C-alpha cells in the first residue's frame, strides 16, 4: 500500500462525537443539545439570510462582534466569533502551546483537548482531579509557560469552580495563557468574562451550541484582551477566514437580541436538571453537583455500559465514556421535563429487571 499521509498525522487520534444513529427515532440525551428550538426571531433571521448566500460572509464578523460586545459590556476588539467554540480551542492550542510549552488540563475533562494536543504536537500535562472529581486549583498556580485549559463547569463531570479561583490562577501563573472553556456556564456557573480586561493572559470561550439552541449552526466566540484576540484572529485568517458562515452570523446577532428567551430556556433546563437529579437519587444513583445541561451519574448495582445498552434498546441515547475513571459513569443530557420523565421511568423499569 502506498503511503500518502505524512508521518506526523499517521497516529492522530480523532475526537469521537456522540452517535447520531438513523435506524430509528431516538430520544437523544447524548450530545448536550438544547431541547428547545431557536427563537422566532432567530428562525426569521436564518430564513432571511438565504437570499444572500451567493455572497461570502463578513470575515471580520463586525455585526456579531458589536452585538456580543454590547451584551457583555466589552469592546468588539475583545471578541472573536468562531465556527463553534471548538475553533477557539484549536486556535488557542495552536497559538500558545507546543512541545516545550505544555498544555495543562484535568485528567477527566473534554476529550477534544487531548485530540488537539495530538494534532499540534503539544506536550499535555494532565492534573488528576480528586476522587470526587473536584479540581485542585493549587496545581495550576505558579506554572511558568504554556496553556492552562479549564472547562468551567467541567465536562463530563458538570462540576464548577468560582471566579475567585480562576482569578487566582490568572494572577499566579501570569506567563501562561489561561483558557476557560465556558461551553456550559449559562446553566448555573459563574462566568470569568468580567476578568478579561484585568488579565491579559485570560481567554474565555463560549458557545451558541447549548444555551442558545444553535448546535447545528456551529457558532462560538472567544472573549479576551484585544492583543490575544488579534493573535487568535490572525491564525483564523491563515486557516479559514470565512469560518463563520452568513447564516450563523445572522442567527448569532438575532439570538443576542432575543436573550430573554434563551435565559428562560436555560432556567428551565436547570430546573429540569435538578428535578431529574432528585429522581435519579431516589432510584439509587450517585451524582456529581452538575451546573450544566447534563447530569453525571452512576448506579452501584448496574454497570454504566449495561445501562447505556438497555436505554438504547428502549430508544434513549446517553453518553458513556470508557475511561479508567469514567467507566462507571453516565453523562445524560437534560431534555424537556417529558423527556426526562421518559428517561427516569425507563431507568426504573431497567433497575426493576423489567427490561432485558
Q: Is 209 in the site for ligand PMP (CB under 6 A)?
A: yes
Number of Cβ within 10 Å of residue 237's Cβ equals 13
Shortest Cβ 35–ligand PMP spacing (Å): 16
Binding ligand PMP (rule: CB under 6 A), the pick from 57, 76, 81, 84 is: 84
* DSSP strand pairing (330-333 vs 294-298): antiparallel
**Residue of minimal Cβ distance to ligand PMP:** 84
Return the residues of window 154-173 that contact ligand PMP according to CB under 6 A.
155
Name the strand (E) or helix (H) holding 252. Answer: helix 246-257
Sole window of 50-58, 65-73, 83-91, 119-127 interacting with ligand PMP (rule: CB under 6 A): 83-91
Shortest reach from residue 5's CB to ligand PMP, in Å: 25
Q: Which is nearer to ligand PMP, 20 or 145 (CB)?
A: 20
d(CA 126, CA 84): 24
Torsion of CA 162, 168, 170, 175, to 10 degrees: -150
Residue in 172, 16, 147, 170 with CA at minimum distance from that of residue 88: 147
Cβ distance to ligand PMP smaller for residue 210 or 310: 210
| Closer CB to ligand PMP, 185 or 195, in the complex | 185
Pairing of strands 79-82, 330-333: unpaired
Task: Pick the closer one to ligand PMP by CB: 35 or 220.
Answer: 220
Distance, in Å, from the CA atom of 92 to the CA atom of 177, rounded to the nearest integer, reads: 9
Residue 288 in the binding site for ligand PMP (CB under 6 A): no
Bond prior to 185 in cis (omega within 30° of 0)? no
Number of H helices, E strands in the chain: 10, 12
When binding is defined by CB under 6 A, the residue of 45, 151, 248, 270 that contacts ligand PMP is 151
Q: Is residue 183 part of the contact set for ligand PMP (CB under 6 A)?
A: yes
CB of 31 to ligand PMP, least distance (A): 7
Chain positions 109 to 138 lying near ligand PMP, rule: CB under 6 A, are 110
Q: How far is CA 44 from CA 34, 63, 213, in A?
A: 19, 17, 15
Residue 60 CA to its chain's centroid (Å): 24
Q: What grid cell was written down for 144?
A: 511558568
> Nearest distance from residue 54's CB to ligand PMP, in Å?
27
Q: Is the dihedral of CA 105, 106, 108, 109 positive or negative?
A: negative
**Does residue 38 interact with ligand PMP by CB under 6 A?**
no
Whole-angstrom distance, CA of residue 171 vs CA of residue 176: 10
Provide, rounded to whole angstroms, the least separation between the CB of residue 30 and ligand PMP: 11
Q: Verify binding: residue 86, ligand PMP, rule CB under 6 A.
A: yes
- Out of 85, 152, 243, 308, name the contact with ligand PMP by CB under 6 A: 85
Of the residues 38, 57, 220, 335, which one makes contact with ligand PMP according to CB under 6 A: 220
Q: Which stretch binds ligand PMP (CB under 6 A): 4-12, 71-79, 81-89, 124-132?
A: 81-89
Place of cell 448546535: 215
C-beta of 111: minimal distance to ligand PMP in Å? 9
**Region near ligand PMP per CB under 6 A, out of 39-47, 84-92, 161-169, 251-259:** 84-92
Cα end-to-end span (Å), the chain: 45
Residue 153: cis peptide before it, omega within 30 degrees of 0: yes
Name the residues that contact ligand PMP, by CB under 6 A: 84-86, 110, 151, 155, 181, 183, 207, 209, 215, 220
Amino acid at each position: 500500500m502506498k503511503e500518502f499521509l505524512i508521518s506526523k498525522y499517521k497516529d492522530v487520534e480523532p475526537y469521537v462525537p456522540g452517535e447520531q444513529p438513523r435506524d430509528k427515532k431516538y430520544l437523544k440525551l447524548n450530545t448536550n443539545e438544547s431541547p428547545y428550538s431557536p427563537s422566532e426571531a432567530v428562525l426569521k433571521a436564518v430564513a432571511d439570510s438565504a437570499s444572500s448566500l451567493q455572497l461570502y460572509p463578513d470575515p471580520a464578523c463586525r455585526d456579531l462582534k458589536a452585538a456580543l460586545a454590547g451584551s457583555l459590556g466589552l469592546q468588539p476588539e475583545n471578541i472573536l466569533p468562531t465556527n463553534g467554540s471548538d475553533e477557539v480551542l484549536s486556535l488557542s492550542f495552536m497559538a500558545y502551546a507546543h512541545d516545550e510549552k505544555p498544555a495543562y488540563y484535568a485528567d477527566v475533562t473534554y476529550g477534544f483537548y487531548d485530540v488537539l494536543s495530538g494534532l499540534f504536537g503539544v506536550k499535555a500535562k494532565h492534573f488528576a482531579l480528586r476522587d470526587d472529581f473536584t479540581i485542585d486549583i493549587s496545581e495550576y498556580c505558579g506554572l511558568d509557560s504554556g496553556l492552562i485549559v479549564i472547562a468551567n463547569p467541567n465536562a463530563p463531570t458538570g462540576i464548577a469552580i468560582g471566579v475567585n479561583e480562576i482569578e487566582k490562577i490568572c494572577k499566579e501563573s501570569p506567563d501562561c495563557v489561561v483558557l476557560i472553556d465556558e461551553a456550559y456556564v449559562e446553566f448555573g456557573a459563574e462566568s470569568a468574562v468580567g476578568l478579561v480586561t484585568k488579565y491579559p493572559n485570560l481567554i474565555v470561550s463560549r458557545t451558541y451550541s447549548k444555551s442558545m439552541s444553535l448546535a447545528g449552526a456551529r457558532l462560538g466566540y472567544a472573549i479576551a484582551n484585544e492583543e490575544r484576540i488579534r493573535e487568535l484572529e490572525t491564525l483564523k485568517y491563515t486557516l479559514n477566514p470565512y469560518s463563520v458562515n452568513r447564516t450563523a452570523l445572522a442567527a448569532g446577532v438575532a439570538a443576542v437580541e432575543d436573550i430573554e428567551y434563551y435565559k428562560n430556556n436555560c432556567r428551565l433546563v436547570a430546573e429540569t436538571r435538578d428535578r431529574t437529579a432528585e429522581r435519579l437519587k431516589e432510584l439509587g444513583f450517585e451524582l456529581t453537583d452538575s451546573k450544566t445541561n447534563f447530569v453525571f451519574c452512576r448506579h452501584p448495582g448496574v454497570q454504566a455500559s449495561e445501562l447505556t445498552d438497555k436505554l438504547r434498546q428502549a430508544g434513549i441515547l446517553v453518553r458513556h465514556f470508557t475511561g479508567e475513571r469514567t467507566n462507571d459513569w453516565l453523562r445524560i443530557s437534560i431534555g424537556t421535563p417529558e423527556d426526562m420523565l421518559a428517561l427516569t421511568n425507563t431507568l426504573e423499569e431497567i433497575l426493576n429487571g423489567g427490561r432485558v
